[in-house]
Amino acid sequence: MKNLFKITFLLTLLISFSCSESEFIEEQQVQNSIIDNSIDDLAVIQSTTTCTMYSISYDLNAKTETFGVSSNISNAIFSWSATGTITTVGTNTTNNTITIQYPNNYNAGDGVLIVSVTDSTNTSTHCGVTKHINTIGNNGNGNCGIQANIDEQIPVGYPTPNGKYSLSYTGNSSNVTWSVNNGVIVSSNGKFEVIVKATNLNPIILTATITEGSCVQTVTKEIIPINNCNTAISAYMEEDVKPCYPANNPNNYGWYTLYYTGSSNNITWSATNAQILYVSGNVQAKVKPNSSLPFTLTATITEGYCVKTISKVVYPNTNCEPGDGKGGDF
């Protein structure tokens, strides 16, 4: 009887141990499955989120270089920063491109450019690139080290003359295209020279785009047109009849003529301490002084963005007879 009891007790322990071990193994398998799935999800995020930084263009004279970043992240927010001896140009560091400034004496690798790209709708989706910057124009990728520079031969003026600019580039001229953000490209001689016409006094950004296979280099130059308005507009004013004060009758009014070869529609008249009573064809003005004091008569000529003023200081005649002068009409 005692032996039977011992056997029964041992069988119960064995069954209990077997069940516990089975449950433990099943629980471990579930936990391992969760861990494996988590690792797989993380791997998917890491493998599908990519960032690539590349050089777009550079300016040897200004010692600047522009970089871009490509990414497959939707709703991307960009954040750039620079450390070491390079600095970012401007205050906006949230575009997908950035321009950096090199110091006068730059050693390769002394500057580090960093970009971070984040999905604005899911901040856990992000990527970043840290790039040790080589010397200017030798950072590979987008421009493949294409060397070029724009030189000024004749500065552009407004309204004249047209400007002439040349491209220092050793490649094929068929690789080059020109564009401006303001003004007009009149002609390009063999693609290495371009004639630019200013259409106003605003700055012009002249761009040469060089394409060699899959490599693209853009070279830009900012041009400030020279203001030649005063020399471009030729005009002068003549006094035909000196006015009297007091002007007791129309014979005592003054008459003035503007000699100008442009359109009369470009002319407006004004006066201080006098009244402009009549304008004939915009080129002749009849004036009555308000007092015996000198007054200023001004003709303003506007041609496009050019404005030129022709002024004359007039001293009224205070010893006029009623019959003096030219009369009421010219």
Q: DSSP label at 107?
A: -
Q: Which CATH class for the 51-142 domain? A: mainly beta
Question: CB-based contacts of 188: which residues, under 8 Å, 6+ apart?
Answer: 178, 194, 195
pLDDT tier at 39, thresholds 50, 70, 90? very low
- 140-154, 200-214, 262-276 — which is least confidently predicted? 140-154
Q: For residues 256 and 60, what is the distance between their CA atoms, to the nearest angstrom?
A: 57
DSSP per-residue string spanning 48-62: H--EEEEEEEEETTT
Query: At residue 38, does pLDDT exceed 80?
Result: no
Block residue for tokens 């004013």: 237
Q: Tell me: domain 230-314, CATH 2.60.40.60, correct?
A: yes
Alpha helices in the chain (DSSP H): 2-48, 229-232
d(CA 305, CA 197): 14
Other residues' Cβ atoms within 10 Å of the Cβ of residue 23: 10
Compute the distance between CA of residue 215 and CA of residue 224 in angstroms, rounded to an integer. 30
- Give per-residue pLDDT as tens, 234-281: 999 999 999 999 877 777 899 999 999 999 999 999 999 999 999 999
Q: What is the band of 227 on the pLDDT scale with cuts at 50, 70, 90?
A: very high
Whether omega before 159 lies within 30 degrees of 0, making that bond cis, reads yes
Higher pLDDT pick, 50 / 73: 73
| Burial (CB count <10 Å: 0-12, 13-18, 19+), residue 316 | buried
**273, 295 Cβ separation under 8 angstroms:** yes
Q: How much is the pLDDT for 296? A: 97
Give the chain's length. Answer: 330
pLDDT tens readout for residues 101-130:
999 888 877 889 999 999 999 887 888 888
Q: How far is it between the farthest Cα atoms of the chain?
A: 162
Question: In the chain, which segments carry CATH 2.60.40.60?
Answer: 230-314
pLDDT of residue 55: 83
* Confidence at residue 324, expressed as pLDDT on a 0 to 100 scale: 53
Sequence-distant (≥ 6) Cβ neighbours of residue 154 within 8 angstroms: 161, 162, 163, 164
* Torsion (CA) 91, 94, 100, 101 in degrees, nearest 10: 10
Q: What is the DSSP code (8-state) at residue 128?
A: E
For residue 14, which amino acid is it? L
Topology annotation, domain 146-227: Immunoglobulin-like (2.60.40)
Identify whether the C-beta of residue 274 lies closer than 8 Å to the C-beta of residue 314: yes
